[in-house]
Structure 1
């Protein structure tokens, strides 16, 4: 499921990244400060969208910050609630600002990016509770978003896990009605020993990194087996929304994502699965890598299809 070698653009992007294995000994807070500095530089000239609005929505432990991106042209549009990656410990609205802007431009949807609570200060299920609450708010307040009623969830890595979990929770609880879920290299099915971990741990994410994220997020082994922590533990996934599941060939998380896609298909869920064979974990946010743009365009096309629009929008920035 992987190419002969990692794409040169991805290798170049990896070389420019900070070494998480070396830096995580300083703890989450210094890492977040480093992220903030990197994001400031990266976001100097973001792609233009119709409008951007920072606001808060009600959550189980107080107000949840969100960033709402509106497409150009005006008029009601479908809504995509987006959850950023970062192992439930790192990541922010700023860190995925360009990705969300590109998704808006390609899909012509409104994107609501959610700044959910992070571990270890807020371990499981805090992120899940915030993600579900934000999705409920988007569904219940279409006038605030100039929404047309279409609703999807999306995310990358830990955010992909949250999108999958919110879809499962919505199916279990009878709402909100989610039309589609886009899961980009989600961290699912990670409890089992996977070949992709054996072969590709150390490419972007080491086994020690994966353990560190897990130890920050979960307070007990019981939490880790909760279906709202990892939907692979759910008894029934047949009622979840149709899905796009994306993996990367050289990603330790690849086989877990593929296994979840296979399970959804077995249980009757419509799934488009795509494995980018020459890519690595995190490539969606490697903005100078061509595959990143291809990924956003592919996911946007799936969203347009789910919402009944076949018109390609395109992104020229």
Structure 2
């Protein structure tokens, strides 16, 4: 399918002012500015900022609940933002979490994990593990039903969620489902989409290469960085995977969905025609993003029950 016309206009806009900045500081500022543009008309939600213990010091987090949810335990989602492990924070993905909370009627805990290059690999993975342990232990206080706790994320954050999903069979907190939005799952970078959409489609190959360099990682096939390359996937939590047709990492999600299915893991994969990376977080710039995000929230609600 051809590129969505609103996505085309968005790409033309960022070609002038862009988010593909050559420096980490520029990348962070550009993502924050983009988040402000996309935040208009965000869904109402009950929110509370949290601080939780992390392996490298306190981590900031934000708890979201659907309006009027009260104190009764609800399904939960531990969410990790995107940004290539070098950018992004609670505010850049605030609109996404609000929309998911409203549509899913879940309580969502969004975590600001440590970023590279200040905190090299595997700091983000360590923070994700600590976050899961804390949320599971504190579930009653957070109003979350620990038996219906999912992990999820967007882009690089979806990779963190996938890693936690892979570690679930090894013990630790139970994970009821995993929600992966435009996941980045392979630092090695295989797949036709890595060539077809290498530049000009928001997330590009040059940005991914800079992000990997900032992480300071030596083995690109390490499953803690490239969960697509994990040897065993049997017994993992059910997965909801959403990819975008015109996205450099589309084939990461497509290949992971296929591998999970082959391993007997329940998986539902949706490829959004005409869309680009992070389209669901770009409303009202890309109007199709908001109804897609609402549908994703309802899908999450259905799988968590």
TM-score range, shorter chain: over 0.9
Structure 1 residue runs without a partner (length 5+): 309-317
Match of 1:76 among 60, 65, 73: 73
1:179 maps to 2:176:
yes
Note the alpha carbon deviations across 1:290-312, whole angstroms, 9 max, x for none.
Answer: 3312322232122211222xxxx
Q: Deviations over 1:257-287 (max 9, x none)?
A: 1001100000000000010120011112111
Q: Which residue of 2 aligns with 1:232?
A: 228
- C-alpha distance in 1 between matches for 2:74 and 2:162: 22
Residue in 1 that maps onto 2:288: 291
- Match among 147, 158, 161 for residue 160 of structure 1: 158
Q: Match of 1:20, SS?
A: coil
Q: Does 1:66 pair with 2:64?
A: no
How large is the RMSD of aligned CA atoms in angstroms? Answer: 1.7
Q: Deviations over 1:38-76 (max 9, x none)?
A: 444554653211x21111111111111001111122122
Contact kept? 1:196, 1:252, Cα under 8 Å? yes
- Distance in 2 between residues matched to 1:104 and 1:304, nearest whole Å: 10
Matches within 5 A, 1:290-309: 290-308=287-305
C-alpha distance after superposition, 1:180-234 (max 9, x if no partner): 10101111134243211111111112321221111112431x2x22212121221
Give TM-score scaled by structure 1 length.
0.89
- The count of corresponding residues between Structure 1 and Structure 2 is 298
Matches within 5 A, 1:122-271: 122-149=119-146, 150-172=148-170, 174-202=171-199, 203-220=201-218, 222=219, 224-271=220-267
TM-score scaled by length of structure 2: 0.92
Q: Is the 8 A contact 1:89 1:213 kept in 2?
A: yes
Structure 1 runs of 4+ aligned residues shifted over 6 Å read none
Q: Distance in 1 between matches of 2:118 and 2:216?
A: 11
List runs of 5+ in structure 2 lacking aligned partners.
none
Note the C-alpha offset of 1:170. Answer: 2.2
Instruction: Assess, with a 3 A threshold, how the Cα gap between structure 1 residues 39 and 198 changes in structure 2: closer, same or farther.
Output: closer
